[in-house]
Amino acid sequence: MGLLTAACAAYASLAAWLWLTLAQGMFWRTDVRLPPRTAPAHWPSVAIVVPARDEAEVLPRSLPSLIAQDYPGEAEVILVDDGSTDGTGELARRLAQEHPGLPLTVVSPGDPAPGWTGKLWALRHGIAVARTAHSAEPDFLLLTDADIAHEPDSLRELVAAATSADLDLVSQMARLRVVGVWERLVVPAFVYFFAQLYPFRRINRPSARTAAAAGGCVLLRTTAAVRAGVPDRIRQAVIDDVSLARAVQRSGGRIWLGLAERVDSVRPYPALADLWRMVSRSAYAQLRHQPLLLAGTVAGLALVYLVPPAALLAGLATGHPAVAWAGGLAWLLMAGTYLPMLRYYRQSVALAPLLPFTALLYLLMTVDSAVQHYRGRGAAWKGRTYARPSDA
């Protein structure tokens, strides 16, 4: 029975990897970049909205890049100081004086209203200011996190892509920092797993049913935001970027998501504990706080990522070549599909065979996310803990 079970698991894992490689929207390819674009005849106006809570550590490396945007049209930066205690607002004003460029406005929304997450409450306030501060509301909103640095032409390229392809939402997944040992091991896999769940090519089809965005960099038409009723309609969302994309898509908007070339996160995650908190704070929310979905996810991660090396080693140890071959081929497909992401992050290909270990870490992070939720500490971020939407 043990051998039969091992063989079935190995063959099932191999079948899963064949399907993932060939039928899951080519998720493993990393060539999904901004679509072809040309400069518009008239550059639309843009308000850049930056929610920030205790971001004094990263703001000197990110905010100047927004102020320095080389944009031919009318643009401004609105930083929403979300109850910071580290002088974020004062630092932002000082940086604006030291780095002339786009005008900067610093506002504060006060504490979130009941049923709102802090970031969406800050975005709501920033968008409201952008829409009412001038005689005409901006044509586009660039929603970007306080830890995201943009190259000088980033806004120009985003707007050109949106106007050329008639898109309502254009989002780029910022290139996360990869410096330390744990960042090298965990960060590229984070983006790889995200793309596996939300294949970019499927999202970008005109008739797509899959929707997602990367919250660090989202260019959104103001009319599309109004039509979709965001952020009010998604006010309880912990995973706000995916919820935002779904709301825009469901209201008839066209969305696009891809990898960034000139947009980078400057937030460091030097220790495993830092990365653990990043993943575990929202992992169970991604599963809609459902124990059955958690059990299915754990079983799926084990089958897809842990069975291949276990089957290979077990088959070799017990002299059953069929089990070893099935496990080895599945592991080879796994590593092969991970190589493009490692190249995108300029990392050694030697990390590819270690993906099962990284997947085990993510499995444990997901379980820990559920444990923290039931202990009343789930979805915690910078001093705030959010209930599941139905409880909010």
Rounded CA separation 156/263 (Å):
12
Closest to 287 measured CA to CA, from 276, 298, 278: 298
* Residues 234-270 pLDDT 10s: 999 989 999 999 999 999 999 999 999 999 999 999 9
pLDDT score at 385: 65
pLDDT score at 381: 63
pLDDT score at 392: 39
* Residues 267-278 pLDDT 10s: 999 999 999 999
Closest to 129 measured CA to CA, from 222, 213, 198, 62: 222
Using 70 as the pLDDT threshold, list the residues of the chain that sit under it. 1, 378-392
pLDDT score at 3: 73
pLDDT score at 384: 63
User: Do the strands 169-175 and 217-221 form a parallel or antiparallel pair, or are they unpaired?
Assistant: antiparallel
At 196, which amino acid appears? Q
Rounded CA separation 316/323 (Å):
8
Q: For 148, phi and psi rounded to 5 degrees?
A: -105, 125
281, 186 in Cβ contact below 8 A? no
Crossing angle of the two packed helices 272-286 and 181-197, in degrees rounded to 10: 20
Cis bond upstream, residue 231 (ω within 30):
yes
pLDDT score at 1: 41
